[in-house]
Amino acid sequence: MWLVFGARLPEGAPASGSALSRSDLLVRLGALTDDTRLRVLALLAQHDELCAQDIMTMLDLTQSATSRHLRQLSATGYI
């Protein structure tokens, strides 16, 4: 199963990737169902580099919540 999110690949991205199993796809897409994780990704897209403390401050999150969201995004390959 392939999922395409746009007409162009980001610069430096490989032209082909590995197919995801249905369960892997559900896990990865599930990570995007949380509004806070989407806000974290938006911040990371806007800034060259952020540390966890920056994200905590900008989104008014606790350390544990920030860590949990970053861990989920990392485990699913978004960061």
CATH number for the domain that contains residue 39: 1.10.10
pLDDT category at 21 given cuts 50, 70, 90 is: confident
pLDDT of 2 reads 46
Residue 2 lies in a domain: no
Q: Whole domain around residue 64: which residue ranges?
A: 34-75
- What sign for the dihedral angle of Cα 27, 33, 45, 56? negative
Q: Considering the entire predicted model, what is its pTM?
A: 0.72
Region label for 61, one of left (φ > 0), alpha (ψ between -120 and 50) or beta (otherwise): beta
Closest CA to 79 of 36, 19, 21, 37: 37
Residue 66, token pair as written in the block: 């920030």
CA–CA distance, 46 with 42 (Å, rounded to integer):
6
Residue 44 lies in a domain: yes
* Pairwise pLDDT comparison (23 vs 56), residue with the higher score: 56
For the stretch 28-79, pLDDT in tens is 898 899 999 999 999 999 998 899 999 999 999 999 999 999 999 999 888 8
Residue 63 lies in a domain: yes
pLDDT of 43 reads 94
How many folded domains does the chain comprise?
A: 1
CA–CA distance, 41 with 21 (Å, rounded to integer):
24
* Pairwise pLDDT comparison (12 vs 35), residue with the higher score: 35
Residue 45 lies in a domain: yes
